[in-house]
Chains A and B, each alone.
Chain A
Amino acid sequence: MTPCIEIESLSKTFIKGRKEVRALADFDLVVPDAQFVCLLGPSGCGKTTVLRILAGLESKSFGVVKIKGKEVARAGSDRGMVFQEFALFPWRSVRKNIEFGLEIKKMPEAERREVSSKYIDLVGLGGFEDAHPKELSGGMKQRVGIARALANEPAVLLMDEPFGSLDAQTRNLMQKELLRIWSATKKTILFVTHSVDEAVFLADRIVVMTARPGMVREDIGVDLPRPRDRTSKEFISVRGKVLAELDEEFEKARAKELSPD
């Protein structure tokens, strides 16, 4: 079976003024279908860059990036993305936001309504179809974001710290909701986060990245059955392991910041 995501020797160098910044170097990752993978790492390690290159929002400097066996180039609706800042279109209602991608595809109106209704129900926003983003809470906005991306039936869902703007309680709630949606849709998810706790709660697999230039430091499988109990021994153990890896990289990143490259 062709893996959903194949990344081989990916590297990315930015030119900032006179300096060259190597964001990624030799990054490898293979993700099979329907797997939930979290990318974790210190700031500046390039985890968001990986996501953006996959999405086609950023170009790569070197390497091979494939979705379902095909090399990716520009952005497209086969890779849906959910943003930390929600990025909803403020002048469109919930339904219209979700239908955006379908309009692009020139889907006829009746069909669009069917699809958008389906996803509105899926993310639990029934009754809010005609509301505008500014009337919604953070959690609800992100539900729209997820529904909007999913409505295009992408091969993979790329999520860039999607719950970073939410308060702790909403965040917990949304994590559970995401798992529910994931099990209903069976999408491959690549989820970038800062939070170890979140990663352990959500992921099948946690990829810890090194400090800049980013590459894979450790690939930790999380075998715990869901729903996961944050207070359980196993959870705490995995968490500890991941933290240990991460702390070292944090130190390295700090050191790098203090000494100019």
Chain B
Amino acid sequence: MTQDLFRTLQKTVKENWKQYVLAVISVAVFIAAWHLYASYLREIDSGYKGYIPYPMDVAEALVDSFQYEDPNTGLTMSDHIGASLERIILGFLIAMVVAVPLGLLMGTFRTVDAVGRPIVELVRPIPPLAWIPIFIVVLGMLWGPVAIVALGIFFPVLLNVMFGVRSVEPTLMDAAKTLGAGRGQMFLKVVLPFTTPYLMTGVKVGLGIGWMCIVAAEMVGNYGGGVGFFIKDTADVGEFEYMYAGMIVIGLLGIFTTGVAGFIETRLSRWMGMK
């Protein structure tokens, strides 16, 4: 399995080497521009020069954060990542457990849809971040952030599953019927497999939102640390090199998780023969 993965990776890199080179160049240009701006601010002794540290200092802080144990909390960046990951995974599981069955039900049965729709449409536009203070007070500092993440992941998954169910081609349903399938079997053997790639799309989108939620939630109240906590903590005392380092960590984690989800999504679609 790992050999396959490695070979696929090699293949992808070989096929897309031009894109990768361009990506590296663009990142390098960005860093150079950042460095120049930071220099400029120091030249003119701007009041906020400390808020734009040199890229090198951020890189140093990034490395340091993994090695250095904070004297007050006893945590390193690895610990923070672990804490945030824990909450995201928990929130993710909760969201999936509720959203998938609900999405399947709402997509299939008009009555369930009629009951659920108004609530969904009312709550959906509210950004999960708005709920943070309430959730943390009502649910506490462990389940508050987890609930925020769950809320953030819930809607994309729910809507994509619903959409998937509704998108099942009617002829496939007809074919299943003429092959003797009853409602239950149609659901298990046609609707479910058909919806899976849509589900993965929802997961991919949801995970992106989930990271944003966990960072914001951790800034409001927490225990056990977390990358969001780290960012707020370092920003509060003005250690901006570390703050940026924390932001980079979030960015990378986000890319990684959504990348994995996207990879699974493409694989699944291909296997389903739908791409």
Question: A residues within 8 Å of B by Cβ?
Answer: 55-57, 74-77, 79-81, 83, 85, 87-91, 100-101, 103-105, 132-134, 148-149, 152, 158
Contact = CB atoms under 8 A, between A and B. Distances in A.
B193 interface: yes
A100 B174 contact: no
Nearest to A104: B180
A91 B272 contact: yes
B180 A77 contact: yes
B8 interface: no
A57 B178 CA distance: 8
B71 interface: no
Contacts of B193: 89, 91
A103 B189 contact: yes
Contact of A56 (B176, B177, B272): B177
B271 interface: yes
Chain B: interface residue count, which band? Answer: 20 to 34
Closest 6 CB pairs of A and B: A77-B180, A90-B273, A75-B177, A101-B179, A87-B175, A81-B178
21 contacts: A56-B177, A56-B178, A75-B180, A80-B178, A80-B179, A81-B175, A83-B171, A87-B169, A87-B171, A87-B174, A88-B175, A89-B172, A89-B193, A90-B274, A91-B272, A91-B273, A100-B181, A104-B181, A104-B185, A104-B189, A152-B179
A149 B169 CA distance: 18
A87 B171 CA distance: 6
A104 B179 contact: yes
In this complex, the member of A75, A79, A80, A148 whose beta carbon has the largest number of chain B beta carbons within 10 angstroms is: A75
B185 A77 contact: no
B272 A79 contact: no
A134 B171 contact: no
Contacts of B182: 104
Nearest to B175: A87
A76 B273 contact: no
B59 interface: no
A101 B180 contact: yes
Interface in B223-275: 271-274
Contacts of A149: 178-179
A79 B175 CA distance: 11
A6 to B, nearest CB: 19
